[in-house]
Structure 1
């Protein structure tokens, strides 16, 4: 589990991420620890990457120049991977944040995890499943919002409960995790359920359905009894309540 004092290395693939999203990404990353290294990789001679200049300066991200020396070969990916391994071998970091929608980083994520270091992935919904599953946690860029646009009173576009209950994968995932986390009385700690779900499905995020918190999503599904106790929130499958 992430700790506030964890040191993180943030590596961004400029070819696959819009600079307009980086503020929201860094805000999300701040929940997991301190981004002590922030680098963005690209061939800055390309006109389409010019907009990264201001974004990198505003967020104090070090631009790493990598020329495309050979047509058809992604030198940027290779530079990011080499730097990631160099940083990994320093043993300074508790987590790596790989910001890209490119499946080329699948093996990199797996290799970092082999060292017992947490990998947080960030990419668009088009990101291949292999890369998403290679991370400990994967967040879609589409569910993130810039910090200065957040309005707690603003209504979110939420998937209604009836439609959530028709999502077989979601229902099975939640019920399976709740069953594994439940004690003899059938009650399961919500935090434990969330951890189990993430292990099974790294890209699971209540915001994918428009809910800010897992507790909001669970309540909306309507298949669980949810209670708040001194030790935290807990839930119980209504099937077991009726049994």
Structure 2
């Protein structure tokens, strides 16, 4: 997957310069960004903060004037370019960076063509766009706390908070059950794969944990077993027995 050719398209009206460092590092996990474009009306002063970031990461700004108040010409230009890139058949996947639901149909159309869609947006991003992507990453987890924004990033949740999150607990338990063998153990990789298919916006970093294994361990209701298999170590998990 790391060799996939990706097109990264950013909606400047619905993204912040502070995410770009983390965004490009995240994109590199899934493939190589062969196209990096950002769309907006660069004559407007509210986009001035992007200049240094774009130069540093070689992201091409695409100028799109706002023809009419209340109409988003930026979205239209980005969608047209995405379709042109899709028809070129040069890419394995697309990274769409926006918190706008207008890109829901675009994400669905790209997936219909058999290509992978990675969505990036804030937690306010409407559910239809999030679920239209193969994987959706909240941009809050890509930001690091700085002097200017000390509250940036995601605070780690306590075991009590995690256990009280019914949706999270059901997601984990159901995935473990689906991936488990006769003894109740489930490979962590299989668990993560099932969760991603059921909930594209799931990310252990949303709860303050770098990896799924850390999140499961932090809850304190599951046990883990590291096994040596095929020259490598694999982690297996299962709900902790309540029997005494």
1:82-121 equivalences under 5 Å are 82-121=80-119
Q: 1:233 maps to which residue?
A: 235
Counterpart CA distance in 2 for 1:74 and 1:87 is: 21
Match of 2:142 in 1: 144
Larger mean Cα displacement after TM superposition, 219-228 or 134-143: 219-228
State whether residues 18 and 143 of structure 2, in contact with CA within 8 Å, keep that contact through their aligned partners in structure 1: no
Report how far residue 97 of structure 1 moved. Answer: 0.3
Superposition deviation, residue 185 in structure 1: 2.1
Matches within 5 A, 1:5-154: 5-145=3-143
Offset of residue 207 of structure 1: 0.8
Tell me, yes or no, if structure 1 residue 195 matches structure 2 residue 197. Answer: no
Shift of 1:145: 3.4
Moved over 2 A (4+): none
Match of 2:150 in 1: none
Residue 242 of structure 1: CA displacement?
4.7
Report the TM-score, using the length of structure 2 for normalisation.
Answer: 0.91
Shift of 1:168: 0.5
Distance in 2 (CA, whole Å) between partners of 1:242 and 1:200 is 30
* Residue segments in structure 1 that go unaligned for 5+ positions in a row: 150-155
Aligned 1:214-225 pairs, distance under 5 A: 214-225=212-223
User: Secondary structure of 1:233's match?
Assistant: strand
Using the alignment, how far apart are the partners of 1:164 and 1:56 within structure 2?
Answer: 38
Superposition RMSD in Å? 1.9
SS at match of 1:15: helix
Inter-partner Cα distance in structure 2 for 1:128 and 1:190: 29
Q: 2 CA distance for matches of 1:18 and 1:61?
A: 14
After the TM superposition, which residues 206-217 of structure 1 pair with which residues of structure 2 at under 5 Å, given as runs?
Answer: 206-217=204-215
- Shift, 1:238, TM fit: 2.1
Q: State the alpha-carbon separation in 2 of the partners of residues 157 and 123 from structure 1.
A: 18
3-state DSSP of counterpart to 1:84: helix
Gaps of 5+ in 2: 148-153
CA distance, structure 2, for counterparts of residue 86 and residue 230 of structure 1: 47
Residue equivalent to 2:164: 166
**Secondary structure in structure 2 of the residue aligned to 1:30:** helix
Which TM-score applies when normalising by structure 1? 0.92
1:185 matched residue in structure 2: 183
Secondary structure in 1 matching 2:58: coil
| Residues in 2 aligned to 1:28 and 1:237: alpha-carbon distance in whole angstroms | 31
SS at match of 2:66: coil
